[in-house]
């Protein structure tokens, strides 16, 4: 049985925020290089900040480029999330980028953080298998969800609500957002994979768990700051003439 994994989104690029989130008890944290505020050069310090906690660092790369995927794994990410995985061929390319030969094409480096900068030199085949979360964000991806889930090496089908909702409108799709979520969850379970989603409200978690989702990210650092600041301002009385 797959255990429920609660995570959150980190977009600010701050090691301090990452450390606070990790110390708060999340099971995993998503470091966002696709829409986040920092460059990939800021990632190593964020990864260092969660070391020693139970929070597994997952990095969302901006694109499924083999050099970028290998780079974040070399820096010590436990796994990757890849946006807009629309076909089984897309999924296969991601898996190959994240795995060493013979399964994949990831380059071997013996002086990177993932191997203690050269102090731990295991056989690449004995190194921990990276987690791979394929984002389902389009109507095409929903239709291909069974084939994507069937790709060896894909661990989680992770729904991107904003992109999927937009694509449904853009494509004038006949299916609803709810239908798509249910189809993806069903495809993941049928293939023995896990399924996940980003949520903004804790009260929505129960319904997603009923669908069998085990990887849920709740809110983001930017969202939490925005809502908290807004609530603070709204709670303070203002002078009529101010």
Q: What is the dihedral of CA 103, 104, 105, 111, to 10 degrees?
A: -80
Structural domain boundaries enclosing 203 = 5-235
Residue 115 belongs to some domain of the structure = yes
Residue 93 belongs to some domain of the structure = yes
How much is the pLDDT for 241? Answer: 56
Name the band, by pLDDT with cuts 50, 70 and 90, for residue 123.
Answer: confident
* Residue scoring higher pLDDT (221 or 64): 221
pLDDT tens by residue, 64-79? 999 999 999 999 999 9
CB atoms within 10 A of CB 128: 10
How much is the pLDDT for 45? Answer: 97
How much is the pLDDT for 222? Answer: 97
Residue 52 belongs to some domain of the structure = yes
Name the band, by pLDDT with cuts 50, 70 and 90, for residue 120.
Answer: confident
Give the count of domains, the chain: 1
Q: pTM of the full predicted structure?
A: 0.94
Name the band, by pLDDT with cuts 50, 70 and 90, for residue 18.
Answer: very high
Of residues 130, 142, 147, 58, the one with CA closest to residue 95: 130
Residue 240 belongs to some domain of the structure = no
In whole angstroms, give the CA distance from residue 230 to residue 145: 38
Mean pLDDT over all residues of the chain? Answer: 95
pLDDT tens by residue, 136-157? 999 999 999 999 999 999 999 9
Q: What is the CATH number of the domain that holds 186?
A: 3.20.20.60
Q: Report the share of the chain in percent with pLDDT over 70.
A: 98
Residue 242 belongs to some domain of the structure = no
Average pLDDT score over residue span 84-109: 95
pLDDT tens by residue, 40-67? 999 999 999 999 999 999 999 999 999 9
Residue 126 belongs to some domain of the structure = yes
Look at phi and psi of residue 9 and say left if phi exceeds 0, alpha if psi is from -120 to 50, else beta.
Answer: beta
In whole angstroms, give the CA distance from residue 143 to residue 86: 9
Residue 96 belongs to some domain of the structure = yes
Report residue 198 as tokens: 């980003």
Name the band, by pLDDT with cuts 50, 70 and 90, for residue 240.
Answer: low
In whole angstroms, give the CA distance from residue 225 to residue 242: 25
Lowest mean pLDDT: which of 1-15, 119-133, 148-162, 221-235?
A: 119-133
User: Does the pLDDT at position 2 exceed 90?
Assistant: no
Q: Annotated active-site positions, please? A: 35
Q: Please report the DSSP string for 141-165 in residue order.
A: HHHTHHHHHTSTT--EEEE-HHHHH
Residue 222 belongs to some domain of the structure = yes
How much is the pLDDT for 121? Answer: 74
């Amino acid at each position: 049985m797959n255990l429920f994994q609660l995570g959150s989104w980190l977009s600010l690029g701050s090691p301090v925020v990452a450390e606070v989130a990790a110390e708060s008890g999340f099971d995993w944290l998503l470091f966002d290089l696709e829409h986040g505020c920092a460059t990939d050069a800021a990632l190593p310090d964020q990864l260092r900040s969660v070391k020693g906690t139970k929070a597994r660092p997952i990095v969302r790369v901006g694109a499924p480029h083999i050099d970028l995927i290998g780079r974040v794994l070399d820096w010590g990410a436990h796994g990757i999330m890849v946006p807009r995985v629309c076909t089984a061929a897309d999924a296969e390319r991601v898996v190959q980028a994240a795995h060493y030969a013979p399964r994949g094409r990831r380059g071997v480096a013996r002086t990177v953080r993932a191997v203690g900068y050269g102090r731990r030199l295991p056989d690449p085949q004995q190194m921990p298998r990276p987690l791979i979360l394929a984002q389902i964000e389009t109507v095409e991806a929903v239709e291909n969800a069974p084939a994507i889930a069937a790709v060896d090496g894909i661990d989680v089908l992770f729904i991107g609500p904003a992109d999927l909702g937009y694509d449904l409108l853009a494509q004038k799709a006949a299916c609803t957002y709810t239908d798509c979520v249910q189809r993806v969850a069903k495809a993941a379970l049928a293939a023995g994979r896990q399924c996940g989603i980003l949520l903004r409200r804790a009260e929505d978690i129960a319904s997603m768990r009923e669908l069998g989702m085990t990887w849920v990210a709740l809110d983001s650092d930017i969202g939490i700051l925005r809502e908290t600041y807004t609530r603070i301002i709204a709670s303070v009385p203002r002078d009529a003439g101010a």
